[in-house]
Amino acid sequence: MLQSSNSVLDSAKPSSELLADKIALEEHFVLAENIDASYAVRDLPPETRQRILDLGSGRIADMDRGGLDICILSLTAPGVQAIPQVKEAIAQARRTNNYLAENIAKNPKRLKGFATLPLQDPEAAAQELTRCVRDLGFCGALVNGFSQVGDGDSAFYYDLPQYRPFWATVQELDVPFYLHPRDPLPTRQQCYEGYRWLAGSPWGFAVETSIHALRLMASGLFDEYPKLKVILGHLGEGLSFGIWRADHRISRGSGAPRAKLPMSHYLRENFYVTTSGNFRTQALTNVILEIGADRVLYSVDYPYEDAVEAKEWFDHASISESDRLKIARANAQKLFHF
């Protein structure tokens, strides 16, 4: 059925022009002072290192080439989540957010921001998110997986009870929380032995992040805060493919989630997914069938991925024009009130 109420479809612009106005929301930067502290950046070729530092004309030129009207920027992984010293994590999150706000102010129509949050201290994270949304005009938060707190070998996931007041603030502010991957800690990588590279973006990112998302669902978090909106990258880190089986096995007695409803209910009602770094039509089709085109958002994963390659795939993928326009722009406009 035609969705004639969709504002993008009612626009006077032809679809080819609308597709050049994409909104992307998993696009990363790093501060020069921290570039060598980030394992994601350390070994990158010099051109990519330059791109991730650039919040000015070089980035805007790449956005133009990639058909990107607006990018919502975020600190690259693992960011402050990997700073076990709580005070330092809080200070660095604040510095990062101020730096991002200063750069957005130079290009406010093209650049927006996601807050960096020191989830080592849930109360400080809630305060920083509130400051970023209310004072700096940020669109929500992007958090790079679990946080290390005190001990470098610790991993705190956000289904834990101490995070419930933080989630209350997220719901109250009515902004999305982007759960971005990070590598598992070195002491928790036994299954990758001999294949250490699998622990990162080729496979481990999706394992780490999909389990974190399942923990949030199973914990009852979304029963307590039903309006929470969590975004996952990489077409949902594999969850749309595996969620039916998880529910099926739970319904046969394998497992006892604290949540009231099947996991797939929360995936459909509380999650959005982006196309970042997963430019595959078969996977996109699965996501659309499982959670619906209204919950899929365009993204690149710049500068780790190429905005032109992403555009060329997406603009010609075998999906309906209605879904293409929603994913490219209209869903993000609705979610972020642009």
For residue 305, the minimal CB distance to Zn ion (Å) is 8
Question: Whose CB is nearest to Zn ion?
Answer: 301
The nearer residue to Zn ion, 237 or 301, going by C-beta atoms, is 301
The nearer residue to Zn ion, 19 or 72, going by C-beta atoms, is 72
3-state secondary structure of 22: strand
How many beta carbons lie within 10 A of that of residue 253, not counting itself? Answer: 7
The nearer residue to Zn ion, 42 or 260, going by C-beta atoms, is 42
Question: How far is CA 75 from each of CA 35, 38, 72, 79, 274, rounded to the nearest angstrom?
Answer: 11, 10, 11, 6, 17
For residue 37, the minimal CB distance to Zn ion (Å) is 17
For residue 142, the minimal CB distance to Zn ion (Å) is 9
69 catalytic residue (yes or no): no
What are 288's two structure tokens?
């659309």
| C-alpha torsion 174→178→184→188, nearest 10 | 30
Q: What does the angle CA 53 – CA 57 – CA 60 come to, to the nearest 5 degrees? A: 90
The nearer residue to Zn ion, 111 or 259, going by C-beta atoms, is 111
Q: CA 196, CA 200: separation in Å to the nearest integer?
A: 8
For residue 299, the minimal CB distance to Zn ion (Å) is 8
Q: Which of 121, 183, 247, 301 is catalytic?
A: 301
Taking Cα atoms as reference points, which of 227, 117, 116 lies closest to residue 172?
A: 227
**Which positions lie near Zn ion, rule CB under 5 A?**
26, 301
- State the DSSP code for 76: P
Q: Which residues are catalytic?
A: 301
